[in-house]
């Protein structure tokens, strides 16, 4: 049977990460990726999934998965297409990732020695592909040119230039909270209320997992990029 050239490929977008806490920018990633894929005329995005990493990831300052998942669920309550999957977050061991919606810092982390397994990168790139939203200050295109593996699978990388730039990050949210500054309009109001009610982020919480080296990856666990 001949394939219908007008038939669009259905896509599920999966975003992994700490979501510590979830921000408006995490939610924007999905909207940006969906707009981009629809504009190609080839894809129909049917679902978005947020998968917060489990506590065993042991990144510095990572608060409990329970709180991170609850905040992500509160933030997506009124979305008709993005939902939270807590399966990954409830695993007692840290799990490697397959198939991805990510920011360009994660794509660039593919180049950090021993951080990602080559077979995981190959599987993501070869079997699923990747939608990458550029983050302010990252020259992702150059990075793809300079990486042999990314270059090989470049046709499977959808690079979305974020032209309304927005450099919100979870690290900056936690820093503002430690300084007693407002995070209003940076995270959904329900998330802000949840953080305040449970007093989630402090100098003490930022010290969680301090000095832990992410086994088996030997990643320096300082984690912050801003």
Ligand X SMILES: Nc1ncnc2c1ncn2[C@@H]1O[C@H](COP(=O)(O)OP(=O)(O)OP(=O)(O)O)[C@@H](O)[C@H]1O
Ligand Y SMILES: NC(=O)c1ccc[n+]([C@@H]2O[C@H](COP(=O)(O)O)[C@@H](O)[C@H]2O)c1
Q: Which residues form the interface with ligand Y (CB under 6 A)? A: 16-18, 53, 57, 59, 96-97, 106, 115-117, 120
68 contacts ligand X (rule: CB under 6 A): no
Pick what 115 binds: ligand Y, ligand X, none; C-beta below 5 to 8 Å, kind-dependent: ligand Y
In whole angstroms, give the CA distance from residue 163 to residue 188.
Answer: 22
Site string for ligand X, 112-151 (x = CB under 6 A): ---------------------x-x----------------
CB 82 within 8 A of CB 202: no
Q: Which stretch, 5-13, 74-82, 99-107, 202-210, contacts ligand X (CB under 6 A)?
A: 99-107
In whole angstroms, give the CA distance from residue 117 to residue 138.
Answer: 23
- Measured from the CB atom, the residue of 44 and 117 that comes closer to ligand Y is 117
Find the largest Cα–Cα distance for the chain.
Answer: 63
Backbone φ and ψ of 119, nearest 5°: -70, -30
If binding means CB under 6 A, how many residues of this protein chain bind ligand X?
21
Among positions 20-39, residues that touch ligand X (CB under 6 A) are 20, 25-26, 29
Least Å from the CB of residue 43 to ligand X: 19
Pick what 96 binds: ligand X, ligand Y, none; C-beta below 5 to 8 Å, kind-dependent: ligand Y
Pick what 97 binds: ligand Y, ligand X, none; C-beta below 5 to 8 Å, kind-dependent: ligand Y
- Measured from the CB atom, the residue of 91 and 171 that comes closer to ligand X is 171
C-alpha distance from residue 198 to each of 24, 188, 192, 201, 202 (Å): 20, 16, 10, 9, 11
- Measured from the CB atom, the residue of 8 and 99 that comes closer to ligand Y is 99
C-alpha distance from residue 130 to each of 117, 169, 209 (Å): 16, 21, 30
C-alpha distance from residue 96 to each of 21, 58, 88, 100 (Å): 21, 14, 10, 12
Which residue has its beta carbon closest to ligand X? Answer: 103
Pick what 166 binds: ligand Y, ligand X, none; C-beta below 5 to 8 Å, kind-dependent: ligand X
- Measured from the CB atom, the residue of 8 and 208 that comes closer to ligand X is 208
CB 84 within 8 A of CB 116: no
Cβ-Cβ contacts under 8 Å for 15 (sequence gap 6 or more)? 26, 29, 30, 48, 49, 50, 51, 100, 101, 102
Give the CA dihedral 186, 188, 192, 195, nearest 10 degrees: -110
Q: Which residues bind ligand X (CB under 6 A)?
A: 15, 17-20, 25-26, 29, 102-103, 105-106, 133, 135, 166-171, 225
């Amino acid at each position: 049977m001949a394939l219908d050239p007008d038939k669009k490929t259905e896509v599920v977008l999966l975003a992994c990460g700490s979501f510590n806490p979830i921000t408006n920018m995490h939610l924007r990633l999905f909207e940006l990726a969906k707009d981009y894929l629809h504009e190609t005329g080839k894809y129909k995005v049917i679902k978005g999934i947020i998968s917060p990493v489990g506590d065993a990831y042991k990144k510095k300052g990572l608060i409990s998965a329970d709180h991170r998942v609850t905040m992500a669920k509160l933030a997506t309550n009124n979305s008709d297409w993005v939902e939270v999957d807590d399966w990954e977050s409830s695993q007692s061991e840290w799990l490697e990732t397959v198939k991805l919606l990510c920011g360009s810092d994660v794509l660039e982390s593919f180049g950090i020695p021993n951080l990602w397994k080559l077979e995981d990168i190959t599987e993501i790139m070869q079997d699923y592909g990747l939608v990458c939203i550029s983050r302010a200050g990252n020259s992702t295109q150059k990075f793809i040119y300079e990486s042999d593996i990314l270059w090989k699978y470049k046709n499977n990388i959808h690079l979305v230039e974020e032209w309304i730039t927005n450099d919100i990050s979870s690290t900056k949210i936690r820093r503002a909270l430690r300084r007693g500054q407002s995070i209003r309009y940076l995270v959904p109001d329900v998330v802000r209320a949840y953080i305040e009610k449970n007093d989630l982020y402090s100098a003490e919480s930022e010290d969680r997992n301090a000095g832990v080296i992410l086994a088996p990856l030997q990643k320096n666990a300082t984690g912050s990029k801003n």
